[in-house]
Amino acid sequence: AYFALAELMRREQRYPEADDYYVQALEKNPQSSWGWVLRGNTARERSDLEKAIVIYKMGIGNFPDNASLYFELAWAYHLNNQLQQAMAAIEEALRLMVTPNSNYYLRAGMIYELAGYKIQALINYQTGLILDPQNKNILDAIDRLQKSQ
């Protein structure tokens, strides 16, 4: 019930209340790795990137093998212009990923592209394209990178 209330508050952009419900939900269900993801995403949605990073790291402390937490941590670092940390986090997400997911490679490509590592970005985009040949975001990114060379 607490997770449902938290999501309702988040959708209504009542972020402090949503966070309170997430805290209660995680106290009641500490085995919910997804709860940490949702709580961190809520902080990120309200542009509290430092708090989001702390929350994702707390989740990783409890679930060190959870690729989703690293995936979201990487994006928070990216948005906070902490590109070295973003690259390290997305690499860990890729390493821990159980089922190959084109979105992970898309995000990795975006992070590497912003950091100026165009070859690494292209490798990640191309890997994502193998998994999802019709992904317009990946196709556009590859086209953009190839035109800039």
Q: What is the pLDDT of residues 114-129, one digit of tens each?
A: 999 999 999 999 999 9
Contact 60, 70 (CB under 8 A): yes
Distance CA 132, CA 115 (A): 24
Contact (CB, 8 A) for 101 and 109: no
pTM equals: 0.93
Confidence of residue 149 (pLDDT cuts 50, 70, 90): confident
- Going by C-alpha positions, the residue among 62, 23, 27, 19 that lies closest to residue 43 is 19
CA 78 to chain centre: 9
Tens-place pLDDT, residues 41-100: 999 999 999 999 999 999 999 999 999 999 999 999 999 999 999 999 999 999 999 999
1-8 long-range CB contacts below 8 Å, 24 or more apart?
Answer: 2/28, 3/29, 3/32, 3/35, 3/38, 6/38, 6/39, 6/42, 7/38
Determine contact, residues 91/121, Cβ cutoff 8 Å: no
pLDDT at position 30 is 85
Q: How far is CA 19 from the centre of its chain?
A: 18
- In the chain, the domains with their CATH numbers are 1-89 (1.25.40.10), 99-149 (no CATH)
